[in-house]
Copies of this chain bind each other. A is one copy, B any other.
Amino acid sequence: MRIGELAARAGTTTRTLRYYESRGLLPARRDDQGYRSYDERDLRLLQQIRTLQDFGFDLEETRPFVECLRAGHPEGDSCPASLVVYRRKLDELDALIGDLRAVREQVAGQLARAERARDALGAESLVPGGPEPRCELGGQER
């Protein structure tokens, strides 16, 4: 099969396949026209790469899985190097999720505080002294 067919079957583009080849991740044989030639095993490798990419693995992190498959193992994660990547990715995800949750709480707190302040200002306008400067920028207050 040629590059266009492989790309279509994997739901990706020819540009992506050439890029993978340029990175040494998915080398291709050539037919007598000089066209890249792939088989079902290449499709399998490509699917492995795409699955991991969907998980947010970057290209280098997929390499152990691809090499594992190419070495004849039944699954891309049948080799210890792949398990190492899994575990490192789990740690990264846990750290990232933790950071994001902390940020989320910070932002939620800021929002709550700002809304309280706004409501307090709203009450102030019902009181002698009158209101403070209105926002003249950005906010559509219809």
A residues adjacent to B (C-beta < 8 A): 55-56, 64, 67-68, 71-73, 75, 77-84, 86-87, 89-90, 93-94, 96-97, 100-101, 103-104, 106-108, 110-111, 113-115, 117-118, 133, 135-139, 141
A117 to B141, CA, bound (A): 60
- Do residues A114 and B100 form an inter-chain contact, with CB atoms below 8 A? no
26 A–B contacts from the bound complex (CB under 8 Å): A55-B106, A56-B103, A64-B138, A67-B137, A68-B138, A71-B133, A72-B133, A75-B114, A75-B117, A77-B110, A77-B111, A77-B113, A78-B118, A79-B137, A81-B137, A81-B138, A81-B139, A83-B114, A86-B107, A86-B111, A86-B114, A90-B104, A93-B100, A93-B104, A97-B101, A97-B104
